[in-house]
Structure 1
């Protein structure tokens, strides 16, 4: 389990789940164009053959009761808000690795489908994730070439926790059904392993950075000495400067006391 997920579950894992939604966003064009290039356009042809107008990244938006945060609604509404429940939305997904975080991009909250909860069966984040991870042997692995990716990850969580029978909306069932990623990746032929190599490297980099395997060097704060307290010269330099100042003062006094002669180059004629 990634450290970030584990730390968050320690804080809110036992909070009651209030709502579960399936969310999805279209996969960006660049990765698809690369796959299509590597497959000599067979990737797009297979996509059209399988009837996939769009390829989506699926995830779960989970609204949990927030007993730790401030009860804002109660403060705003007074007695009328006594029944209001403070809540927090978290995004559970699997890309290279499993992630549990707060949704930060607005379009992550647009294309969503409700997953009805089972009545009289309380569910928490810890129960939801532990049930799925104990049954799904590929829960922590990512391999699109073997149909082990974001969409199967989401479907398995919903199914293993017994929530699939609660879904009666056909659009939700259609959105939940995974695509045949294995058939798409197979169009790359001998280059199919490139996809797994890329996701494996992404997972390693994510682990190094976010699990603090790489520790960034923190520079020490610089100390500034007030100019008046700074020792900018040594004693010999100070003596030399002082002697030069005295000599300049003597020369200035001589110039003031002795008026220039008519032949003096400092006299000015008009």
Structure 2
């Protein structure tokens, strides 16, 4: 992705999200906290404005699990839009954890969004509990043995074939907040399907195969529930490499009225 210039927004509830400068229409981009999504090449899809939420990059956060649920992060996103003076609707993009954040924000304040780009939607609803148990166990491991031991065990596990050749980087949260982030993810879930169905924004859903943490079943359900949504799946890194052009094409279209 293109590297935008950056500035720092006013802290929201004690957290300080960092954000690049915006263009004529803000496009807040929310990334996944421990995903290889940002390592793939999709330069044409670079957004005009992006955010990194706590505890990513230079964004700060405290050791409070409830601060890292999708709903709480949506509070931060909407507060950031207020701070930036985004009076008109914007395009919302989010990957994994960011997908959940953008969906919660759109459900809560649908008039603030033109279009949605939802990348690698995470486990949700009925499939979420197993993921939640794994995250609670991971938080215990970090506290008991340290983040390095947890990362080593995590790295020994299988990776989706679509990102098998993409370099793996450690999650960015500091060790002091990592257990809280993991427990916050255990508490998090996507909005229920009913309010998602009520959204009227054009949506592009991008998913890859064979990733238990981001199952195609979630992406299919979202595409079915969101009126007019388009679903694109990928099974190879080369196919993921086309996502930038797909996003750029989608975002260049005039939004549907109403």
Q: TM-score, normalised by structure 1?
A: 0.21
Q: TM-score, normalised by structure 2?
A: 0.21
Larger Rg: 1
